[in-house]
Amino acid sequence: MSTPLTAAEIQAAQGSLPGWRLDGNALAKTFKFGSFREALSFMVRAGFEAEELNHHPDWSNVYNRVEIRLTTHDAGDRVTAKDIELARRIQKISWVG
pLDDT value of position 36: 98
In the chain, which stretches have pLDDT less than 70?
A: none
CA dist 28 and 67 (Å) reads 7
pLDDT value of position 1: 76
Residue 31 host element (H or E):
strand 26-32
Q: What DSSP character marks residue 5?
A: P
pLDDT value of position 97: 80
CA dist 12 and 21 (Å) reads 12
The string of pLDDT tens digits covering residues 58-77 is 999 999 999 999 999 999 99
Domains of the chain as residue ranges with CATH: 7-93 (3.30.1360.20)
pLDDT value of position 22: 95
Can you list the pairs that 32-40 forms with residues at least 24 positions away whose Cβ atoms lie under 8 Å? 32/64, 32/65, 32/96, 33/64, 33/65, 33/66, 33/96, 34/64, 35/64, 36/63, 36/64, 38/64, 38/96, 39/63, 39/64, 39/65, 39/66
Please tell me the pTM assigned to this model: 0.95
